[in-house]
Chain A
Amino acid sequence: MSEALEAIFHVNTLTSTLRLATPIALAAMAGTLSERVGVINLALEAKLLAGAFAGAYASYVTGSAWLGVGAAVLAGVLIGALLGLFTLRWRANHVVAGIGLNILALGLTTWLLQVIWGSRGTSPVVPDLPGWSIPGLQAVPLLGPLLSGHSPLVYVMLLAGPLLWVWLFKTPGGLRARMIGEHPEAADTVGIPVRRTQFLLLLAAGALAALGGAQLSLGHLSWFSQNMSAGRGYMALAANVFGRWNPLGSMLAALLFAFTDALQMRVQTLPSPPPTELVQMLPYLLTILVVAGAFRKARPPAALGRHYEPGRSGTE
């Protein structure tokens, strides 16, 4: 029993929570951004995967993990732009467009993996991001070890939550974005450029999610492997819903997901582990509780998934 408690609060559990949460949280916040302007973003998976691949490849070629991060961002923006073209310009169904991009990204990265490195499984080891520590913080008893030595992208994630929250709920830009997701016609009638705003936010979401991908291949590990994102994009979308389309909520939900994962992994390694079945049940139990609580009051943006064509709405 005490062993279990110790496992829960062990610093290693918490630090690996942060590490595991970063890709999901960044992607979840990206999902929040795009869904707040009314675009369902299933392409998060594609953005993670493409980000991970582009990051690893650029790092491999240039020898600089930072250039890898830049390449990941570019790849994410590109996929965001494609999603924008499909859903906004060509009025494709948002879900279909997203899934199509996911399949495209999976196929393309798998193929490139083989073409470039001649491998079906993993790339060679590439230069990865350094671990950062925040001077002064290391000395603080509990927080020090918890918040030290992580990849820079972990800190980006921790900062992005509050910053995006402020942007979305406290600034004019955020108000306008939310208005588009709720009632695009209303936004149009007060002179807010609906399409342009949606497109820009899709690009931003692409960049954000791709940073999560870079965390996978350059932060957490130091290579790319086939289907590296492994469904985290979908988990991110779920985290966005748990988080009620709120960047902070998305971040916290992702942390919770990651925590249960980390905990389960940790408990397995104890000298006398409790019954495996019970342990493995815990994350799901927790998820069910969270879902039951979150969905009760969750309300998606009113115009989510709808196509808006200025000047064509309404009849007489």
Chain B
Amino acid sequence: MTVSHNDAGRPLPPPAGAAPGPAPTPGGGGADAPPAPAIEMIGIYKRFGPVQASAGAHLRVYPGEIHCLLGENGAGKSTLMKILYGLYAMDAGEIRIRGRTAVIRSPGDAMRAGIGMVHQHFMLVDDFTVAENVIAGMEPRRRGLIDMAAARRLVAEYSRRFGLHVDPGARVEDLSVGQQQRVEILKALIRGAEFLILDEPTAVLTPQEADELFRVMRQLKAEGKTIIFITHKLKETMAVADRVTVLRAGRDAGSMPASQTTPQRLAELMVGRRVLLQVPAPPAQRGPALLQLENVTVKGAGKDLLRSVNLQVRGGEILGIAGVEGNGQLELEEVVAGWRTPDQGRVRIAGRDVAGMGPRRRRRPGCAHIPPGRPRRGPAPALSVEQNVVLGRHWGQPYARLGVLRRPAVRELADAVTSRFDVRGGRGPVGGLSGGNQQKLVVGRELYHNPWVILACQPTRGVDVGAIERIHRELLDMRARGAAVLLISADLDELLALSDRLAVIYEGEIVAEGETGQFTEEMLGLLMAGQRPSGGSGRNAAGRNGTGRDGAGRDGAGPTEATAGD
């Protein structure tokens, strides 16, 4: 009956490219028609294997503005900019620079067209000095040798002029991240960049460094430079942008002056739908807490990757973890799966502390782990379907005896899994199957034995529509059987379609938690971007539904959350 979940008029998450929402409006936003665009990208398409990264995106950037390119992870922001910078070749589309069609086949072409890019992962050689990094490829020479003195003077001159303070003689590996970013900006400026693309520049910065970057951006703008600023953070967009273009599923979902929009409106455009489904999910038949995380902390270099995470998942419910990727989801997965030992805190499965138990011992009693659909960690591509299906159970009865696999039993298992989970594509090496079938096979392998604790991580990423539906249905079936499901996903639609409760993770911390119905997509978008929803009662209101209120607290748990937000 819980399966009716899906039939209640909720659309399944659309695959990339099929998103509803506002159509691209080329030529539409010209109410306050500024001068002719400096850069125009028209109908850009780019596909990587099964993934349509750009699906007809349009972008217009006007001279002398700070233009924010906003979108969720995977919306195609970086792809679009790498096309503009000549790192990727587009499949279709047109680029115009100052009104003229431009052919950009390499970064060299882009530089000649006045485009510079600061990449998310810095393009700097740690072992080189600042000056060497900046001038490589355009070295000042004297008698065939590099004129290092001239190079240092050049760097010093530009760093003075644009307020980008950095010592030309310092080795890059001795610099802070913020300083390295300045070196990257200098690199672009010295190459004569008029248009500067900054790819998620704040992702790696401390708040203070980010403020400093914004100051630099404004100064560059004052010097007449045009800046394209890629981000998924609403606050930053509102802080620096003159104009915003929102990308979703590879297309532009809207473009407007920053002064004429609100964070709420932008969040809506980013996520793609206006209304959060308020469909009454068939109440979960909640049982006892089967998976608990108590004060789990994982330390990383300099900062905590997970900070005092408290979560519990009961039998018969799906707890969704929402968050922009890289905010601790991977560590959470690893801690629960048993790949990583938390620095503090404990993980309990069915009440039992599983510290010291590796993945194999955690699986045995009935825990399943569905790793992300992409990158594919689940299947071993070179092994056959049969071999993959038995992985994880290959060491014992009934599939092996005395350390030797029993072919008939394994084949029987493979037959059962492939038919129940609709895995197509033959029995050869799994690498030859389509992404969707590979993932269905992994899901089948994990769910076939009716586990009661399920860790599902990005289970449908990079997987086609049919397979998504199948996988979702299986997860809901497991829930109906009383399994506890921890669903970690970057896909909001998926989370909203499946989860009974949601927790939002931001920078390793659970910043909000509650029944799914209490969140709107806007609120989630804001929370995921590290903002508190307006009204402010959201953050930390997350009542840790006290451990130990088994079953009884079905409706009582969590309503403290109820954000009066809108």
Contact = CB atoms under 8 A, between A and B. Distances in A.
Nearest to A303: B125
A183 B125 contact: yes
A182 B128 contact: yes
B146 A192 contact: no
Given A183-B123, A189-B119, A189-B123, A311 B144 contact: no
20 contacts: A171-B144, A171-B145, A172-B146, A179-B136, A179-B137, A183-B125, A186-B125, A186-B133, A189-B87, A189-B119, A189-B123, A190-B123, A190-B187, A191-B106, A191-B137, A192-B137, A302-B127, A310-B87, A316-B53, A316-B73
Nearest to B462: A315
A186 B123 contact: yes
Given A175-B139, A185-B123, A170 B146 contact: yes
A313 B133 CA distance: 21
A100 to B, nearest CB: 21
Contacts of A310: 87
Interface string A174-186: 0110110011011
A175 B128 CA distance: 9
B89 A311 contact: yes
A315 B199 CA distance: 13
A302 B117 contact: no
B121 interface: yes
Contacts of B88: 311
A166 B145 CA distance: 9
A185 B48 CA distance: 19
Interface string B303-317: 000000000000000
Interface of B: 48, 53, 73-74, 76-79, 82, 85, 87-89, 106-108, 111, 117, 119, 121, 123-128, 132-133, 136-139, 141, 144-146, 187, 191
A191 B108 CA distance: 5
B250 to A, nearest CB: 10
B136 A192 contact: yes
Contacts of A190: 107, 111, 123, 136-138, 187, 191
A302 B172 CA distance: 14
Nearest to B75: A316
Given A175-B139, A316-B73, A182 B127 contact: yes
B12 to A, nearest CB: 23
A190 B128 CA distance: 15
Nearest to B53: A316
A314 B119 CA distance: 11
Chain A, interface residues (CB within 8 Å), range: 20 to 34
A238 interface: no
A45 to B, nearest CB: 29
A164 B183 CA distance: 29
B126 A187 contact: no
The 8 closest A-B pairs by CB, nearest first: A191-B108, A186-B123, A190-B137, A172-B139, A182-B125, A170-B145, A189-B123, A189-B107
A234 B146 CA distance: 33
A299 B125 CA distance: 13
Interface in A150-174: 166, 170-172
A175 B139 CA distance: 9
Contacts of A166: 145
A171 B187 contact: no
Given A166-B145, A179-B137, A299-B127, 6 more contacts: A175-B136, A178-B128, A185-B123, A186-B125, A302-B126, A311-B87
A300 B138 CA distance: 25
Contacts of A189: 85, 87, 107, 117, 119, 123
Residue among B78, B82, B123 with the highest chain A CB neighbour number at 10 A: B123
Given A183-B123, A190-B187, A176 B136 contact: yes
B15 to A, nearest CB: 16
A68 to B, nearest CB: 32
Contacts of A182: 125-128
A314 B137 contact: no
A172 B76 contact: no
B107 A191 contact: yes
B51 to A, nearest CB: 9
Contacts of B138: 190
Nearest to B88: A311
B453 to A, nearest CB: 30
Contacts of B89: 311
A43 B516 CA distance: 61
Interface in A270-316: 299, 302, 310-311, 314-316
B119 A316 contact: no
Nearest to B200: A316
A189 B48 CA distance: 20
A191 B73 CA distance: 28
A186 B124 contact: yes
A187 B137 CA distance: 8
A61 to B, nearest CB: 39
A172 B107 contact: no
Residue among A192, A310, A314, A316 with the highest chain B CB neighbour number at 10 A: A316
Interface string A53-92: 0000000000000000000000000000000000000000
A315 B325 CA distance: 13
Contacts of B124: 183, 186
B122 to A, nearest CB: 8
